[in-house]
Amino acid sequence: MKILCVNAGSSSLKFQAYEMPSEKVLISGVFERIGIDGKYSMKINGEKIKKDASLTTHEDAVRILARELISNGIVKDLNEIEAVGHRVVHGGEKYSDSVILDEEVLKTIEELSDLAPLHNPANLIGIRAFMKEIPNAIEVGCFDTAFHQSLLEDKFLYAVPREWYEKYGVRKYGFHGMSHKYVSSRACELLNKNDANIIVCHLGNGGSLSAVSNGKCIDTTMGFTPNAGIIMGSRSGDIDYSMIPYIMNKTGKSITEVDTILNKQSGMLAISGVSSDFRDIEEKLRLNDHYALLSHDMFVSSVLGYLAKYYVELGHVDAICFTAGVGENSDYVRKLIVEKLSPFGIKLDENLNEITRFGKEGIITTSDSLIPCFVIPTNEEVMIARDTYELTN
């Protein structure tokens, strides 16, 4: 059975086709700069192909993708694509799992656009485009917030007037759900223990941690929006909200301008003064740059605070997992974090830490470490494929 997995952004469209249930990747790629000038790249049998294209709309990208699927022999006919799984950023409280998409679900996704104004509308555009191009395929929505819907009231409510939640939906939703679900389930496989307690550290330009017990998320760092929690590439993470009206009064900036600053001009970018990309900042570390060092110290501190919190909330921890761009590839950041976990009896194996990078999965702690730490490359696409396959069948 052939399944296509799709992640539509405002000007991009990522895709990956699988043969299920073997989970064999048939083709993957991304369309970029949709509505600007347009280009796309594909990977087939290990070969990467790049092309320019006129991409006025997402429908243009979908039409070209359909053509490429046939011309590259992935399918002889588009009807061979039996299902399309779509990553949808926000499912609110409505969806705690992936669902087959129909007009009622699409209406709900549209209604939830107030909670994800940059993402849900783009997701809908992608869904509509595939419905038009491959009308016989079953369309499935896989929500980034769904995995965190297992949070209990004491974790998802804020200490604000109850009507904010009841009337306006103000609560912790959490994000990166497909990644946290994949990594925590993979950790259970590595431990050969289905009811394991796992802390997942999804560390990238955007970052979040989650505490997972018996396959269910019991707490996570991102909140009502993805700006809550740890320090990120350009997001502030947790702050004292009172600085917002203070800065507005001092600078004359609007609430929208301050919100943009907190989302796009803060975090590692603001502290380091270099970049939101950890790789660029690490170049400055070699020069012993004060602000590059400071940004890493503050980042590590923000991660450790939640690691300690989740250790207590879980009662015991079977494994700590690092994933996403920084978590998978920066042995330096992992070293800074794991060495600070020595009070928990955790011991870093420096050699294993250094070599476990660039897509490699493995353990990075010593054999006598009380809690093993793993690097597990995330695979949100395969989670979408699995959910889509399950629902389709």
Hey, which residues are catalytic here? 144
161's CB contacts (< 8 A; 6+ apart) are none
Token code pair at residue 375: 């690097």
Is the Cα dihedral 358, 226, 215, 9 positive or negative?
Answer: negative
Half-sphere exposure at residue 390, Cβ-oriented, CA atoms within 13 angstroms? 11
Token code pair at residue 260: 């943009």
Give the ranges where the chain is alpha helix by DSSP (H). 58-71, 103-111, 120-133, 153-156, 162-168, 177-191, 243-251, 255-264, 267-272, 278-285, 290-314, 324-329, 331-339, 350-355, 380-392
The values of phi and psi at residue 109, to 5°, are: -60, -40
229's CB contacts (< 8 A; 6+ apart) are 207, 208, 209, 220, 221, 222, 223, 237, 238, 302, 306
- C-alpha to C-alpha distance for 236 and 347, rounded to whole angstroms: 30
In the beta sheet, which residues pair with residue 85? 5, 140
Give whole-number Cα distances, 381 to 86, 94, 387, in Å.
Answer: 9, 22, 10
Backbone dihedral region for residue 233 (phi beyond 0: left; psi -120 to 50: alpha; all else: beta): alpha
Classify each residue of 48-60 as buried b or exposed e, where b means 16 or more C-beta atoms within 10 Å of its C-beta: eeeeebebeebbb
By CB atoms closer than 10 A (0-12, 13-18, 19+), residue 167 is exposed
Half-sphere exposure at residue 360, Cβ-oriented, CA atoms within 13 angstroms? 13
